[in-house]
Amino acid sequence: MLNIEAYRTRLNEIVACSKDLIQTDEINEFNKYVLEKLNNLEPSLMVYGTYNAGKSSLINAIFGEDEKAKTSDIPETDKVTGYTYKGFTIYDTPGINAPIEHELVTHAHLNKTEAVLFVISNDGSFEEEYIYQRISDIVKMNKPLILVLNNKSGIDLDSEQAFQESQKLNTNLLKIGDRNGIKNIETKVKFAVVNTKTALKGKLENKKLLIERSKISVLEDMIEQQLKDSDIGVVVNALNIYIDKYINKLISIIDSKLTGKNITDLELKVLQDMITSLEIMKNSNEIKINNLLESKLMSNREVLFDLLNRGYDSNEFLKTLRNELEHDLTASLKNVQLQIKERTQQLTQEQKEIEIKLKRETLLSSSSNNATTIEINDSNESIQIPPIPPIPGIPPVAIVIVNAVITVANLFFKNNAENNKVEKQAEAERTRVLGIQRTVAEVFSKIKSNSIEATEKALNDLFDILIENYKKDSVIFQGQKKYLIDKKDKLHELIINQQKI
């Protein structure tokens, strides 16, 4: 007995895996078909073969109706039409060698059908190799097959010529079986010769002799027997093939996204290179700016000492120094902004190239599958280089300096008033100079630590959010890759499990 519940669970899992891989319509169609089949396990028969072989005419002959199925010398419809026959359904299909849309519809139905009625006409192409290749494909799928030679050329079916044709057909069948490793192919294919036109005429005009000569009854019995013999095993086989083909399609879509083209790897690599570049850029600029500011401070140390030594007001000088430092830092940061901008443009270019490659490859594979690509955030658009942040000022330094200068001056005058002795004066002078030196050292160390802090903060503001965002993107890419690989593993499991149900 078929475990319907296990099939339903499996179906839900497959449908869940399909999301993001193929279009919803196609998923729904798959889901609907499997559910319908599980609800009704009746086998059906599909009329297949080259277009113009007389498939639709054969349907008409079987039903004894002139216009039941539309017949024509040119391919007209891409529809698969079902007809109820003795409680079963027979489907007429556009066939092989029809326009591509017709062929696709036919092929899709071939994946579903339980049994096949393969029509070949004897007026032309019945020796064509592709016909036997198709027959062999169906036999390989273990689907019951009735091969019908439609006597379109109207020869006497009991003649030597008819016998020769059947022999040729049989030889061709054995050949393809050998080539494709199918043992005893002749036992796996039932064979009938009919004259559809005569059959229809006989039925329409109720002429027993014509009907008999057409040999349609032999075929009708064969069809009925085949459908009655098609047990649950035949239905489950067809259903498994349908499901497995669908799963294999999903896997090949994943493969085209992953291993074959390595698009995800490429995208990840350009992102990770970007992150490394930014980190290096941040570090090297920090060193460069700090060196620049430090050399500026060094050259101004002497000037401040000189000013204080001569008792001048240092506030104006410090204000100018502060402005110059701010100016230098701002100029350096503008340069960093430019570097970031250039690197971002490079990334955009790289991503564009990958996108073009991806599009080209999707286009190339779109004939085999019409996969939709996973939406990938266009991270370039969100990139905004942060503005240069305000630079923390140096005011506390100025206060320190003023206080220090006052202290030094007081010390000097106090010493001067109390003691007039020369050595005391010299002592006082040393103390004064030392005091100034200490003050200068203190002031410059404050300015230096302030400017280092300002540089660090400015660079953090410029780089950190940017780097963080690229890191997030790269995690998303890695996640997508893992997501696809996990999905593929899951789908492989679902195929293998089909055999066990």
What residue ranges bind ligand GDP (CB under 6 A)?
A: 51-57, 71-73, 95, 150-152, 154, 195-197
Give 80 or 462: the residue with its C-beta nearer to Mg ion.
80
Contact partners, residue 188, CB within 8 Å, separation at least 6: 139, 145, 182
Instruction: Give the shortest CB-70-to-Mg ion separation in angstroms.
Output: 7
Give 72 or 403: the residue with its C-beta nearer to ligand GDP.
72
Q: Are 235 and 41 in contact (CB under 8 A)?
A: yes
Give 20 or 212: the residue with its C-beta nearer to ligand GDP.
212
Give 172 or 196: the residue with its C-beta nearer to Mg ion.
196
Give 34 or 119: the residue with its C-beta nearer to ligand GDP.
119
Instruction: Give the shortest CB-127-to-ligand GDP separation in angstroms.
Output: 18
Give 70 or 360: the residue with its C-beta nearer to ligand GDP.
70
Instruction: Give the shortest CB-148-to-ligand GDP separation in angstroms.
Output: 11
Instruction: Give the shortest CB-88-to-ligand GDP separation in angstroms.
Output: 20
Tell me which amino acid residue 168 is.
K
Parallel, antiparallel or unpaired: strands 44-49 and 115-121: parallel
314 binds, among Mg ion, ligand GDP, none (CB under 5 to 8 A by kind): none
Find the radius of gyration of the CA atoms of the chain.
Answer: 44
Q: Are 83 and 155 in contact (CB under 8 A)?
A: no
Total number of residues shown for the chain: 501
202 binds, among Mg ion, ligand GDP, none (CB under 5 to 8 A by kind): none
Q: What are phi and psi of 90, to 5 degrees?
A: -110, 130
Tell me which amino acid residue 269 is.
K
Contact partners, residue 424, CB within 8 Å, separation at least 6: 415
Give 195 or 344: the residue with its C-beta nearer to Mg ion.
195
Nearest C-alpha neighbor of 278 from the set 93, 465, 144, 35 = 465
Nearest C-alpha neighbor of 238 from the set 70, 33, 88, 470 = 33
Nearest C-alpha neighbor of 493 from the set 20, 14, 27, 8 = 14
Instruction: Give the shortest CB-124-to-Mg ion separation in angstroms.
Output: 16
Give 192 or 408: the residue with its C-beta nearer to ligand GDP.
192
122 binds, among Mg ion, ligand GDP, none (CB under 5 to 8 A by kind): none
Tell me which amino acid residue 284 is.
S
Instruction: Give the shortest CB-359-to-ligand GDP separation in angstroms.
Output: 38
Render the burial of 23-55: b for 16+ CB within 10 Å, e for the rest.
Answer: eeebbeebbebbeebbeeeebbbbbbbbbbbbb
230 binds, among ligand GDP, Mg ion, none (CB under 5 to 8 A by kind): none
Q: Are 466 and 275 in contact (CB under 8 A)?
A: no
83 binds, among ligand GDP, Mg ion, none (CB under 5 to 8 A by kind): none
Nearest C-alpha neighbor of 323 from the set 398, 402, 399 = 398
Tell me which amino acid residue 243 is.
I
Give 102 or 282: the residue with its C-beta nearer to ligand GDP.
102
455 binds, among ligand GDP, Mg ion, none (CB under 5 to 8 A by kind): none
Which positions touch Mg ion (CB under 5 A)? Answer: 55-56
Instruction: Give the shortest CB-170-to-ligand GDP separation in angstroms.
Output: 21
CA angle 90, 93, 94 (to 5 degrees): 160
177 binds, among ligand GDP, Mg ion, none (CB under 5 to 8 A by kind): none
Q: Are 308 and 440 in contact (CB under 8 A)?
A: yes
Instruction: Give the shortest CB-120-to-ligand GDP separation in angstroms.
Output: 10
Instruction: Give the shortest CB-169-to-ligand GDP separation in angstroms.
Output: 16
Instruction: Give the shortest CB-76-to-ligand GDP separation in angstroms.
Output: 9
Give 121 or 474: the residue with its C-beta nearer to ligand GDP.
121
**CA atoms of 110 and 122, how far apart (whole Å):** 23
Residue 244: alpha-carbon gap to chain centroid: 21
Give 80 or 491: the residue with its C-beta nearer to ligand GDP.
80
Half-sphere exposure of 421 toward its Cβ, with a 13 Å CA cutoff?
A: 4
Instruction: Give the shortest CB-27-to-ligand GDP separation in angstroms.
Output: 31
Q: Are 455 and 289 in contact (CB under 8 A)?
A: yes
Contact partners, residue 308, CB within 8 Å, separation at least 6: 314, 405, 408, 436, 439, 440
| Residue 145 DSSP label | E
